Amino acid sequence: LSSGRAYKGVDPTDGKVLWEHTWSTSYGVNAADPILSGTQLFISSGYNKGCALLDLASAEPKEVWRSRVKKNQLNASVLIDGHLYGSDGDTDKSASLKCIDFATGTEKWSDAGVGFCSLIAADGKLIVMTAKGELIIAKASTTKFEPISRTPVLTGRCWTAPVLANGHIYVRNAAGDMQCLAVQ
């Protein structure tokens, strides 16, 4: 679980707190979902806080690394083959799409042209929705950003992650406008 001040591991059967890791942000916001892989937990926050990889193998979490290489303000990254892909930065114009190494936190590439975005992954591809309403399908590459297709699908502010279900991608904007796109 996350709050504005910490991440906590909780026993789902009785709600008992098993561990706690302090993680405070300027506005008390830890909105991006953490990503668990084995005994390691990736956490990331915006507002120039940064990210960290925690090892949860013992009773107390241990930081494997901490960095400002990735700052997820609202939406979580996705983990594919040991690499994290996601928006770095806040909803202003300074955000970019980045790929970093999960184990080390080393940046593999960054693309400022995408800006603030949300994304999901499927079939080795990134399904990216930009804040300005452009839907991008890209190869999940560790060497560079490789878009396969780019299509404007909505106008207005788009901060919600796309949804893939039954051969369709669903997207929406802050005004509540939605699109359902058939995909192959």
Whole-number mean pLDDT of the chain? 95
Mean pLDDT of 21-50: 93
Residue 1 lies in a domain: no
Total number of domains in the chain: 1
From CA 102, how far away is CA 85, in angstroms rounded?
Answer: 10
**Residue 74's closest CA among 181, 178, 174, 143?**
174
pLDDT at residue number 93: 72
8 Å CB contact between 59 and 70: no
With tokens 């906590």, the residue in question is: 8
Query: Which CATH number belongs to the domain containing residue 87 in this structure?
Result: 2.130.10.10
Number of H helices, E strands in the chain: 0, 17
8 Å CB contact between 62 and 78: no
pLDDT at residue number 120: 98
Q: Using the predicted structure, report yes or no on whether residue 182 has a pLDDT greater than 80.
A: yes
From CA 43, how far away is CA 37, in angstroms rounded?
Answer: 12
Q: Which two tokens stand for residue 142?
A: 């560790």
pLDDT digits (tens, 9 = 90+) for 81-136: 999 999 999 987 789 999 999 999 999 999 999 999 999 999 999 999 999 999 99
pLDDT digits (tens, 9 = 90+) for 122-172: 999 999 999 999 999 999 999 999 999 999 999 999 999 999 999 999 999
Residue 153 lies in a domain: yes
Domain enclosing residue 103, as ranges? 6-182
From CA 158, how far away is CA 151, in angstroms rounded?
Answer: 14
8 Å CB contact between 133 and 158: yes
How many percent of the chain have pLDDT more than 90?
90
**Residue 117's closest CA among 150, 81, 84, 77?**
77
Residue 147 lies in a domain: yes
What are the b/e assignments for 154-183, b being 16+ CB within 10 Å? Answer: beeebbbbbebeeeebebbbeeeeebeeee
pLDDT at residue number 23: 95
Residue 25 lies in a domain: yes
Mean pLDDT of 63-77: 95
Q: Which amino acid, one-letter code, is at 176?
A: G
